Amino acid sequence: MSRLAVRPPLALIAVALAAVVLRLAPAAFIHLTEDEAYYRLWAQHLQWGYYDHPPMIAWWIWLGEKIAGDTPLGIRLLPSLAVGAGTWLLGDLALALGASAATSVRAAVWYNATLTVALGGFLATPDAPAGLFWILTLWCVARAANGGRLVSWIGAGAAAGLGTLSKYSALFLAPGIGLWMLLDARQRRNLARPGPWLAAVVAVGLFAVNIAWNAQHDWITFAKQFGRAAPAGFDFNYLPEFLLTQFVLLNPFIAYYCLRGAIEALGAARRGEPHPALLPLATSLPFLGYLLLHSLHARVQGHWPAPVYGPLALCAAIWAERPAASAAGRLVRRLVPVLGLLVAVLALAHVSRPKIGSLGVADPALPLVGWSQFAGDLEGARRTAGASWVGVLSYGLAAELASEGKIQAPLLQVNERARYTWGGPSPDLTRPGLLIDLDRRMDPTDLSRCFGRIEPAGELERGFKAGPVIRYRMFIVSQPRRDLWTGGCHLRKEIVPHF
């Protein structure tokens, strides 16, 4: 790490700016996903924590809405900017690690060409701040380890702490940095210096606000996120799925280069030789190792490794710095980003024009279309039925209906009440309500555990005007058998979240 003073090439700045500009259009015109609509509710009730995650994405959405309004662009503004910032930081980190200017630009482009970042980098989810603060932590660590300045270590601790307030995956940064120092003989002496330990104190200090919030709320986020780590048994069917999914989402070409770079970096560490890819690789390994173990007993959602996609893209770009042995090799290296960027352009262009509906029920635009009409139809059905409140079984449906602003009555998710620690307008449960959700979730026998009276009220559809639709089933419900507002009703059918 001897190139901290190297000026970033203009091409890197151009790539970072393009990473932002090219995301603003889809950020503005694509309808909110269910998760984004849910996090929008968080931003309306700022806290130090929430049922599902730490609070950072709520703060980002709140700030974005102050700048660009309560619109898709306002909600996604900071995540879109974060991709550009992360792109520049990753390229500059490559220079700090001793890579060439060409490799710096390549790492920036390849990061944006990973399918997860190319397709969803602008989405307002916890992965956006988590990815940025992971890269920022490494950027600070590279400078701290080279110059030994305490301010750089403090910056690393602050970035890691903000990462833990984004997503708990950032907790793996500490063992990752420790692993890097153990593998790199030049860095082991830093373990005996105050810098890394001061960084840990700063990180823990920031994370403490979420710990305190959890302590005041029965440790709900810790129970949800850390509870899934304990295996109830082993199912090896999830392992191939995890490996194949990440091979695709990372971008198959980038995954190949990353694997070659990882082998080379670990080999250099074993021989006691420095290697520029060792920092991004070693700091990713503890988290990836956990996800690998998790896949032995449960499904790993495809986006979970997203915070380490930047470091992995950097590892791949560093290995690709070597001269290609053939013309074909040089061509492949130039075409690496084409796959991810081309897929992203085609997919986002399609989702931005959701009237097409040409892919049937598998159309990725189907979950995003028809919400305004659907909310209006539901309000009409509520008025016709004389219901004083609307109930749902899934957080996503509740959030989408709230974001449309057409339901003129209290909205209540009758289960999973722990999601709504901020309260909200309480429905009059002494009067009938209109319960609606996907047909597969609406089991009258199951609902009878919650309500003494259940009457079918028909169906509503949401989707393309001339194409595939999603059907929702409705019931008029009354005479609740338990305190739905405080404790909710625990149904037998689990509503599986997408976090």
H or E element, residue 227: helix 220-227
181 φ/ψ angles, rounded to the nearest 5 degrees:
-65, -35
Is the pLDDT at 274 greater than 60? The verdict is yes
Which residue's structure tokens are 């770009």? 317
C-beta of residue 55 within 8 angstroms of C-beta of residue 39 = no
Q: What integer pLDDT is reported at residue 1 of this predicted model?
A: 44
Please compute the mean of the pLDDT values over residues 416-445 and round it to a whole number: 91
Q: What is the mean pLDDT of the chain?
A: 91
Q: What integer pLDDT is reported at residue 2 of this predicted model?
A: 47
The residues near 471 (Cβ < 8 Å, ≥ 6 apart) are: 438, 439, 459, 460, 461
Tokens of 123: 């989405």
In whole angstroms, what is the distance from residue 278 CA to residue 446 CA? 53
Determine whether 377 is exposed, middle or buried from the number of CB atoms within 10 Å of its CB (0-12, 13-18, 19+). middle
C-beta of residue 278 within 8 angstroms of C-beta of residue 183 = yes
pTM recorded for the entire structure: 0.93
If one compares 498 and 438, the residue with the highest pLDDT of the two is 438
H or E element, residue 207: helix 194-216
**pLDDT tens per residue across span 321-351:** 887 667 777 787 888 888 889 988 888 888 8
Please compute the mean of the pLDDT values over residues 192-214 and round it to a whole number: 96
C-beta of residue 173 within 8 angstroms of C-beta of residue 137 = yes
Q: Give the least confident one: 107-121, 204-218, 275-289, 311-325.
A: 311-325
The residues near 194 (Cβ < 8 Å, ≥ 6 apart) are: 150
Is the pLDDT at 166 greater than 50? The verdict is yes
Please compute the mean of the pLDDT values over residues 409-414 and round it to a whole number: 94
C-beta of residue 60 within 8 angstroms of C-beta of residue 124 = yes
32-65: burial string, b at 16+ Cβ within 10 Å, e else: bbbbbbbbbbbbeeeebbbbbbbbbbbbbbbebb
**pLDDT tens per residue across span 77-98:** 999 999 999 999 999 999 999 9
The residues near 494 (Cβ < 8 Å, ≥ 6 apart) are: none
Q: What integer pLDDT is reported at residue 139 of this predicted model?
A: 97
